[in-house]
């Protein structure tokens, strides 16, 4: 998740925000609107989520559209970064929101297992069946029951590049891993490093690995590994690490070499490609790279900065690693019926179109007309995401226990950073990953 993956500084602010949110949550202020059939007039739906800033503004538009349709008032409560803690304390305090936008599949499972969630209504289920690829239903289900509706998605299989740099080197966006390395070498001959890697943030490395693994080993093994039914010492993992190692150990391909990569955080890695002094031609990360390139470095997405899908590795299909925010209904909410109605609305292409028009949004809803997106690049990403159909997989490290897949300086993050520093022994790295995973999944 982009939000969770913050830099040091924003991480700290977010912590403060999270504390603030627990203290003064519920200050969103009710929003009402007229029109529509007003079947729910007089009722208030409380929605909690991690969104703030532009994302919140856009989502508020979706809520307003719901209000206009049904007459229900809506109230948004920001939870800060730590959704599970905030929601847990709200439920205990008898002040639970009706709907929560859950940013990680692990949190959704945790909520379902704690018995906090209401299964989705028949209507919502039907629209999920008709509007979404089954994979989204699977990620929203726990133990065969559908609890979560994926409203907003992220695509983490996009390699962003500066078209100027590739033109200068005379290469075209590659479609296979081998071509990617070859193009990288040509770019490097032209005097610019091929890739900028933000190795100081461990999650960028896990995302590299996940894309390679999903394409090379296939979705079945990916699922097994994500659930830790397959040990990390498996030959497929060693092979994927070896593939990743061919990139990591090549000084010509990485801007500043491994040491500098380990010293570059995610925004820094974007800066190396799209900043005022470019040092590299390509940077791999999710669709949110566009946001950084545009907001911080003033690039026009589509002309100064654009992407190609993460290439297929060793004859596999091109990977689509994804993530998303799922809407769930809490049993403890005061107005669950109206909350359920909100989910029914969110499941429609109509609701997705509202945010799509605002930008900064991808919908997994396959019936959403692609022309609803406000710019071409987002449309392209949405196409590759929806086109991925059932081979779309969620970010593996987001599915793992945080101790393994989401902790600075520990687990998968740390081991892949060590692997970036010294990629000579994939087998040893795999063994370390297995040790760390075994410990984390046990707990």
Least separation, in Å, of the C-beta of 108 and other proteins? Answer: 17
Q: Which residue has the tokens 């002094």?
A: 277
By the rule CB under 8 A, 1 interacts with other proteins: no
Q: Is 120 in the site for other proteins (CB under 8 A)?
A: no
Buried b (16+ CB within 10 A) or exposed e, 192-226: bbbbbbbbbbbbbbbbbbbbbbbbbbebebbbebb
Q: Are 396 and 222 in contact (CB under 8 A)?
A: yes
Binding of other proteins at residue 22 (CB under 8 A)?
A: no
What's the N-to-C CA distance of the chain in angstroms?
Answer: 23
Between 43 and 82, whose beta carbon lies closer to other proteins?
Answer: 82
Token pair for residue 196? 């900028």
Cα separation, 427 vs 206, in Å, equals 17
CB of 262 to other proteins, least distance (A): 5
Q: Among residues 91, 135, 154, 192, which is the contact residue for other proteins, using CB under 8 A? A: 192
Which one of 55, 155, 200, 207 is in contact with other proteins (CB under 8 A)? Answer: 200
Here's the x/- map for other proteins, 229-258, by CB under 8 A: it reads as -----------------------x------
The β-bridge relationship of strands 145-146 and 306-309 is: unpaired
Q: Which residues contact 227 (CB under 8 A, 6 or more apart)?
A: 399
Q: Is the CB of 185 or the CB of 334 nearer to other proteins?
A: 185
Q: Is 169 in the site for other proteins (CB under 8 A)?
A: yes
Q: How many CA atoms lie within 13 A of 127 on its CB side?
A: 24
| Residue 89 interacts with other proteins (CB under 8 A): yes or no | no
Part in contact with other proteins (CB under 8 A); list of ranges 86-94, 107-115, 343-351, 403-411: 403-411
Residue 193 or 305: which CB sits closer to other proteins?
A: 193
> Residues 58, 60, 74, 188: which binds other proteins (CB under 8 A)?
188
Interface region with other proteins, contact rule CB under 8 A, candidates 26-34, 181-189, 227-235, 377-385: 181-189
Q: Which residues pair with 282 in a beta bridge?
A: 161, 195
Q: Closer CB to other proteins, residue 265 or residue 350?
A: 265
Residues in the chain: 443
H helical segments located in 200-313 = 202-217, 219-226, 235-248, 257-262, 266-274, 289-297
Choices 28-36, 92-100, 135-143, 194-202 (CB under 8 A): range interacting with other proteins: 194-202
Residues 303-362 that bind other proteins (CB under 8 A): none
The least distance separating other proteins from the CB of residue 396, rounded to whole angstroms, comes to 16
For 325, residues 6+ apart whose C-beta sits below 8 A from its C-beta are 49, 50, 101, 102, 103, 150, 151, 152
Contact indicator for 352, 364 with CB cutoff of 8 Å: no
CB of 283 to other proteins, least distance (A): 17
Q: Which of 9, 19, 39, 227 binds other proteins (CB under 8 A)?
A: 9
Binding mask of the shown chain, residues 383 to 402, with x at each position contacting other proteins by CB under 8 A? ------------------xx
Query: What minimum distance in Å lies between the beta carbon of 402 and other proteins?
Result: 4
Closest listed residue to residue 150, CA positions, set 132, 173, 167: 132
The rounded distance, in Å, linking the Cα atoms of 323 and 136 is 10
- Per DSSP (E only), the strands in 206-334 are 280-284, 306-309, 321-330
| Cβ neighbours for 230, distance < 8 A, ≥ 6 positions apart | 221, 224, 236, 237
CB closer to other proteins, 64 vs 164: 164
Rule CB under 8 A: say whether 414 interacts with other proteins: yes
The nearest distance, CB 417 to other proteins, in angstroms, is: 4
Dihedral class, residue 35 (left if φ above 0, else alpha if ψ from -120 to 50, else beta): left
Compute CA distances 176 → 249, 309, 316, 318, whole Å. 19, 10, 9, 8
27 lies in the site for other proteins, by CB under 8 A? no
Q: Decide if residue 167 touches other proteins (CB under 8 A).
A: yes
* 144 near other proteins, judged by CB under 8 A: no
Binding region for other proteins (CB under 8 A): 8-9, 12, 167-171, 186, 188-192, 199-202, 252, 259-260, 262-263, 265, 401-403, 406-411, 413-414, 417-418, 421, 443
């Amino acid at each position: 998740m982009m939000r969770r993956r913050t830099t040091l500084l924003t991480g700290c602010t977010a912590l403060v925000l999270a504390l603030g949110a627990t203290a003064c949550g519920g200050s969103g202020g009710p929003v009402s609107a007229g029109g529509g059939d007003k079947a729910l007039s007089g009722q208030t739906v409380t929605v909690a989520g991690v969104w703030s800033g532009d994302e919140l503004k856009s989502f508020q538009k979706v809520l307003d559209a719901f209000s206009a349709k049904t007459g229900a008032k809506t109230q948004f409560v920001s939870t800060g970064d730590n959704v599970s803690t905030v929601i847990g304390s709200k439920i205990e305090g008898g002040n639970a929101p009706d709907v929560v936008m859950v940013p990680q599949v692990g949190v959704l499972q945790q909520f379902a297992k704690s018995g906090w969630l209401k299964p989705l209504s028949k209507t919502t289920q039907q629209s999920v069946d008709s509007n979404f690829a089954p994979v989204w239903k699977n990620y929203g289900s726990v133990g065969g029951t559908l609890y979560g509706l994926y409203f907003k998605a992220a695509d983490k299989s996009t390699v962003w590049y500066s078209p100027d740099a590739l033109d200068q080197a005379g290469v075209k966006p590659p479609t296979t891993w081998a071509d990617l390395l070859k193009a990288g070498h040509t770019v490097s001959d032209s005097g610019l490093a091929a890739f900028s890697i933000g190795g100081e943030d461990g999650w960028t490395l896990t995302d590299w690995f996940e894309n390679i693994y999903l394409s090379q080993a296939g979705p079945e093994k990916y699922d097994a590994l994500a659930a830790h039914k397959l040990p990390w010492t498996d030959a497929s993992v060693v092979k994927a690490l070896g593939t990743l190692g061919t990139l990591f150990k090549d000084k010509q391909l990485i801007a500043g070499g491994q040491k500098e990569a380990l010293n570059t955080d995610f925004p820094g890695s974007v800066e190396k490609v799209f900043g005022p002094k470019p040092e590299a031609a390509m940077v791999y990360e999710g669709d949110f790279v566009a946001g950084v390139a545009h907001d911080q470095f003033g690039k026009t997405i589509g002309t100064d900065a654009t992407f190609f899908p993460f290439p297929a590795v060793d004859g596999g299909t091109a990977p689509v690693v994804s993530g998303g925010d799922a809407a769930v209904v809490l049993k403890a909410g005061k107005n669950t019926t109206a909350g359920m109605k909100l989910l029914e609305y969110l499941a429609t292409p109509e609701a997705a179109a509202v945010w799509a028009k605002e930008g900064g949004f991808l919908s997994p809803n396959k019936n959403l007309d692609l022309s609803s997106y406000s710019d071409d690049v987002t449309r392209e990403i949405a196409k590759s995401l929806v086109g991925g159909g059932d081979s779309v997989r969620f970010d593996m490290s987001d599915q793992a226990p945080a101790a393994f897949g989401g902790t600075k300086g520990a687990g998968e993050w740390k081991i892949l950073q060590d692997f970036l520093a010294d990629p000579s022994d994939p087998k040893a790295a795999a063994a370390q990953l297995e040790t760390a995973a075994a410990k984390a999944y046990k707990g």
